[in-house]
């Protein structure tokens, strides 16, 4: 009895070690997994709708339709028996080659493997700062197939116990010169794992999740900083010539002002002389007129002499002599 309990304890420890993540270059994702996990649930609903038909065949890939706002994403569903998956694997499911020995936890009789190709939505849901995608993000998730009308199902945990699951990427951009491509896997908790790309753009994994090929993005080189502009120091000859030019300008201004003042003085003097000449000429005209006119007789009035007319042109009339 003690030997049986010891064997069961050892088996439990071995199973616990088997379900631990494989060692590798792992790190937590910088993006939020909330939107990505919501997309997984939505794509599971559309994949199960592809099974809505009278007869569903096991081992046949059914392509699903997505709404217009998800155009570019491809989704498919594959229903398999648990024992068939473990004992036979599946030779080629889209880009995934599933080997013998893949088991699920918890155990179900049938399961559905859902394939995702996120296309141009890859960087939107799985944004990796510092990296650039060379291939679209591909997903492989497992669900219970006992109820194909169910929605928002939790994923089963599948692992490859022997050979790894192989992913052959077909739509890969050319590798830039000097860059090194890396396989990346993102598990359902957002843990990133980097590994080397194998020949023919192939990556491997031991568990479900999302996968792609990336390179480190090259940050744009900073713009060259222009040196501060400094005022050029002119040679001494130029300074001397500039001083001479400034002095010449000063003398020109002073001469112009002085010449203007002289012109104003001369113009004023001309006006004064003209006024005096005009007055003198008028006096001469009056004197000539006086000489040409009638000579008045001088009459003594008291001790004073005064001019007197010889003949009175109009005889005065006394008021007493006026009669109407």
DSSP per position, 21-42: PPPSEEEE-SS-HHHHHHHHHH
Task: Say what the pLDDT of residue 79 is.
Answer: 97
pLDDT in tens, 115-139: 999 999 999 999 999 999 999 999 9
Percent over 70 (pLDDT), the chain: 70
Residues 191, 195: Cα–Cα separation, whole Å: 13
Residues with Cβ within 8 Å of 246's Cβ and at least 6 positions away in sequence, in order, are none
Residues facing 165 on adjacent strands: 205
* CATH assignment of the domain containing 115: 2.60.220
Q: Does any domain span residue 274?
A: no
The rounded Cα 15 to chain-centroid distance in angstroms is 52
Q: Which span out of 92-106, 227-241, 285-299, 303-317 was modeled with the highest average pLDDT?
A: 92-106
292-307: burial string, b at 16+ Cβ within 10 Å, e else: eeeeeeeeeeeeeeee
Only one residue has tokens 């109407």, namely 324
Q: Does any domain span residue 293?
A: no
Task: Say what the pLDDT of residue 71 is.
Answer: 95
Task: Say what the pLDDT of residue 230 is.
Answer: 47
Evaluate the omega torsion of the peptide bond into residue 106 and state whether it is cis, within 30 degrees of 0.
yes
Q: Does any domain span residue 258?
A: no
Structure tokens at 19: 């379900």
Q: Does any domain span residue 111?
A: yes
Residues 142, 114: Cα–Cα separation, whole Å: 6
Q: Of 172, 178, 177, nearest to 203 (Cα)?
A: 172
Residues with Cβ within 8 Å of 313's Cβ and at least 6 positions away in sequence, in order, are none
Please give the residue that has the higher pLDDT: either 222 or 152. Answer: 152
Confidence of residue 25 (pLDDT cuts 50, 70, 90): low
Confidence of residue 272 (pLDDT cuts 50, 70, 90): confident
- Secondary structure (DSSP) of 99-117: -TTEEEES--SEEEEEEEE
Least confident segment among 89-98, 261-270, 280-289: 280-289
Only one residue has tokens 């993102």, namely 186
Q: Does any domain span residue 16?
A: no
pLDDT in tens, 141-197: 999 999 999 999 999 999 999 999 999 999 999 999 989 999 999 999 999 999 999
Q: Is the pLDDT of residue 219 over 60?
A: no
What 8-state DSSP symbol labels residue 298?
Answer: E
Calculate mean pLDDT across residues 41-57. Answer: 92
* Mean of per-residue pLDDT scores for the chain: 81
Calculate mean pLDDT across residues 226-249. Answer: 55
Task: Say what the pLDDT of residue 57 is.
Answer: 93
Q: Does any domain span residue 108?
A: yes
Residues 196, 217: Cα–Cα separation, whole Å: 17
Structure tokens at 150: 């169910």
> Could you tell me the pTM of the whole model?
0.61
Calculate mean pLDDT across residues 37-53. Answer: 94
What 8-state DSSP symbol labels residue 303?
Answer: T
Q: Does any domain span residue 169?
A: yes
Residue 27's CB is within 10 A of a number of other CB atoms, namely 10
Number of structural domains the chain divides into: 1
Q: Does any domain span residue 251?
A: no
Task: Say what the pLDDT of residue 16 is.
Answer: 37
- The length of the chain is 324
Structure tokens at 28: 């937590």
Please give the residue that has the higher pLDDT: either 256 or 246. Answer: 256
Least confident segment among 124-138, 235-249, 279-293: 235-249
Domain that holds residue 111: 21-216
Residues with Cβ within 8 Å of 203's Cβ and at least 6 positions away in sequence, in order, are 166, 167, 169, 183, 185, 195, 197, 211, 213
Structure tokens at 207: 């568990």
Task: Say what the pLDDT of residue 133 is.
Answer: 97
Q: Of 93, 95, 104, 86, nearest to 145 (Cα)?
A: 104
153 close to 111: Cβ distance less than 8 angstroms: no
């Amino acid at each position: 009895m003690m030997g049986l309990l010891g064997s069961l304890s050892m088996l439990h420890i071995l199973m616990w070690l088997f379900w631990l993540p494989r060692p590798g270059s792992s790190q937590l994702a910088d993006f939020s997994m909330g939107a990505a996990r919501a997309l997984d649930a939505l794509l599971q609903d559309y994949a199960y709708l592809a099974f809505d038909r009278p007869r569903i065949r096991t081992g046949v890939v059914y392509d699903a339709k997505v709404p217009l706002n998800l155009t570019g994403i491809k989704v498919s569903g594959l229903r398999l028996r648990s024992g068939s998956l473990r004992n036979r694997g599946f030779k080629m499911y889209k880009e995934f080659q599933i080997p013998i020995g893949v088991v699920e936890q918890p155990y179900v009789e049938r399961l559905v493997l859902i394939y995702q190709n996120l296309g141009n939505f890859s960087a939107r849901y799985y944004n990796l700062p510092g990296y650039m995608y060379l291939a679209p993000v591909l997903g492989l998730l497992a669900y219970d197939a006992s109820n194909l009308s169910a929605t928002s199902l939790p994923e089963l945990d599948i692992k490859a116990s022997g050979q790894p699951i192989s992913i052959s990427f077909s739509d890969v951009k050319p590798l830039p010169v000097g860059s090194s491509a890396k396989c990346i896997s993102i598990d359902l908790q957002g843990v990133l794992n980097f590994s080397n790309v194998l020949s023919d753009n192939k990556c491997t994994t031991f568990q479900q999740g999302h996968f792609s090929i990336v390179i480190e993005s090259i940050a744009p080189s900073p713009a060259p900083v222009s040196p501060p502009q400094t005022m050029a120091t002119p040679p001494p000859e130029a300074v001397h010539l500039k001083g001479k030019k400034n002095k010449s300008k000063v003398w020109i201004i002073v001469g112009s002002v002085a010449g203007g003042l002289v012109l104003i003085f001369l113009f004023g003097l001309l006006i004064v002389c003209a006024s005096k000449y005009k007055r003198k000429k008028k006096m001469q005209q009056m004197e000539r007129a006086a000489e040409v006119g009638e000579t008045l007789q001088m009459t003594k009035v008291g001790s004073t002499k005064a001019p007197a007319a010889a003949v009175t042109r109009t005889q005065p009339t006394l008021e007493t002599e006026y009669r109407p």
